[in-house]
Amino acid sequence: MQQVVSFEPLTPERVRPLRTLNSVLFPVKYNDLVYKQALQCGDVTQLAYCEGDLVGAIMCRLEAQPGGTARLYIISLGVLAPYRCLGIGSQLLQRSIAAAAEDPAITTAALHVHAGDEEAQGWYLARGFAVQERIANYYRRLSPPDAILMARRLCAPQEEPAAAAEEPAAAAAAAGQQEPAVALSGG
């Protein structure tokens, strides 16, 4: 039986359930400022629901860049274990990037991935992200403490290549990639 998944942007009423989900998925606790930043960014933070239950989320903020542009920063992306490998993480990422690409000032998307999480690194590589740099001692409570900064350029909606419109999960499956158990980002 196929699960029906719906997606919603973050609203003030949905912050508490998002906090609970993040506490289950990630070994870090995000402070109030992180949730406030995510609320201020419109539809780039997306929540995934299955039969009314929150099962996954991508939490983002916008960061000003030189030259008047902005960067979509992915704070976290995660899906509860029973709902992984269903394409939910791919859809969350795709929806967030599509929302950001509607603003021509937002030119890139970026995130930090735990250096020890090669599965998540491969997952993001399969979705157009590239390794920018390794940052020593980025995480205080994880071992190894290093992070990999990954980024990708965003296309304006009219520039979106036809191949990018394909279902990312199908493209990743063809490449032998699965959604990571937890794609940990920095905050």
- Tracing tokens 């199908």 back to the chain, one arrives at 170
Q: Is 114 assigned a catalytic role? A: no
Q: Contact 117/156 with Cβ under 8 angstroms?
A: no
Torsion of CA 65, 115, 55, 40, to 10 degrees: -20
112 catalytic residue (yes or no): yes
Cβ neighbour number for residue 113 with a 10 Å cutoff: 28
Q: Per the residue annotation, which of 49, 83, 112, 139 is the catalytic one? A: 112
Cα–Cα distance, 49 to 34 (Å, whole number) = 22
- Copy the structure tokens of residue 160: 């979106």
Which residue among 73, 83, 138, 139 is the active-site one?
A: 73
Residues labelled as active-site residues? 73, 112
